Amino acid sequence: MTTPLIITVAAVGAELTLEQQPNLPITPEQLAVDSAACAEAGASIYHLHVRDPEGRPTMDVERFRAAHEAIREASDLIVQFTTGGAVSDGPEARLAPLELRPEMATLTTGTVNFGDEVFLNPLPLITRIYERELEVGVLPEFEIFDAGMIATADRVYREYESDHHRHYDLVLGVPGAMPAWSDSVQWLASKLPEEATWSATGIGRNNQPVAVAAASSGGHIRTGFEDVRYLEPGRLATSNRELVEQVAAIATSNGRPIATPEQARNILEL
């Protein structure tokens, strides 16, 4: 049977501003509406960053708590917290929301240039976040912005003698990180452990080509305002739902059924 395709929606992010995207979901009420619409369109994972009332990125635990509750009341989506936050967030802030024990959380396994800035992930911080994720029973998703991060993910997994399911997200096209070359998705995927699952996301204009490459090579897809603003050149997306619909159509045209949240939980062994 063809493996159903899991759609992750990275709905908020830390970089996009309200000026750039007035429909960015910020309040718990907006997140509830947004998550329900994305679930209806085929998403099964909601990758979550939160904002303060002015729309600035924050790692405030109470904002995460309210958002987490609102999304879970509105949908059956798997909620995946960021541990990356914004490039300006320090280790304590990035770790704090894990106390809320979401089903999943991210783990970026290396430092990378991030536009004009640096997304700092030295090994001691990686292991600290990983250890905390294991301690609270959260499934990590390894965020791979560059090839060396695959090796570091393997390293921490082995060092902790882990046996959880390994799921990766290949993030392609961040300026300064791994570009979305035509063979990037297949090449990176070929370096992952055999039994692992993976999604891919292309930043900005790379979003659709990367989605096609992922759908046609057995992977899963991530999309959402965090990664992409335009449905096509000159046509701004007005909701995360539209972006989910776009990649759901790509999946279907590549012969991949869309995973329900329940199927996604089975695939990820949650």
Binding site for Zn ion (CB under 5 A): 82
Asked if 92 and 128 touch (Cβ cutoff 8 Å), the reply is: no
Nearest approach in angstroms of CB 80 to ligand KMH is: 9
The entry of Zn ion, ligand KMH, none near residue 46 (CB within 5 to 8 angstroms by kind) is none
Report the distance separating Cα 210 and Cα 102, nearest Å.
Answer: 27
Residue 87 in contact with ligand KMH, rule: CB under 6 A: yes
Residue 58 in contact with ligand KMH, rule: CB under 6 A: no
Nearest approach in angstroms of CB 165 to ligand KMH is: 18
Among 21, 83, 206, 207, binds ligand KMH (CB under 6 A): 83
Residue 86 in contact with ligand KMH, rule: CB under 6 A: yes
Number of residues that bind ligand KMH (CB under 6 A): 11
Burial class (CB in 10 A: 0-12, 13-18, 19+), 151: exposed
Residue 104 in contact with ligand KMH, rule: CB under 6 A: no
Both tokens assigned to 262: 């329940």
Burial class (CB in 10 A: 0-12, 13-18, 19+), 82: buried
Residue 152 in contact with ligand KMH, rule: CB under 6 A: no
Taking Cα atoms as reference points, which of 106, 245, 226 lies closest to residue 174? 226
Nearest approach in angstroms of CB 194 to Zn ion is: 27
Report the distance separating Cα 151 and Cα 193, nearest Å.
Answer: 10
Report the distance separating Cα 190 and Cα 193, nearest Å.
Answer: 8
The entry of Zn ion, ligand KMH, none near residue 145 (CB within 5 to 8 angstroms by kind) is none
* Angle in degrees, 0-180, between the axes of helices 240-253 and 28-41, rounded to the nearest 10: 20
Residue 114 in contact with ligand KMH, rule: CB under 6 A: yes
Among 75, 108, 109, 246, binds ligand KMH (CB under 6 A): 108
Site for ligand KMH in 1-20 (CB under 6 A): 14
Report the distance separating Cα 146 and Cα 215, nearest Å.
Answer: 20
Instruction: Please state whether beta strands 139-144 and 167-172 pair in parallel, antiparallel, or not at all (unpaired).
Output: parallel
Residue number of the CB atom closest to ligand KMH: 84
Helix (H, G, I), strand (E, B) or coil at 11: coil
Residue 79 in contact with ligand KMH, rule: CB under 6 A: no
Among 25, 28, 42, 84, binds ligand KMH (CB under 6 A): 84
Is the backbone of residue 72 left (phi > 0), alpha (psi -120 to 50) or beta? alpha
Residue 97 in contact with ligand KMH, rule: CB under 6 A: no
Q: Which range binds ligand KMH by CB under 6 A, 106-114, 124-132, 217-225, 261-269?
A: 106-114
Q: What is the separation of C-alpha 263 from the centre of its chain, rounded to a whole number of angstroms?
A: 18
The entry of Zn ion, ligand KMH, none near residue 114 (CB within 5 to 8 angstroms by kind) is ligand KMH
Q: Is the dihedral of CA 114, 118, 122, 127 positive or negative?
A: negative
Which residues form the interface with ligand KMH (CB under 6 A)?
A: 14, 82-84, 86-87, 106, 108, 114, 119, 143
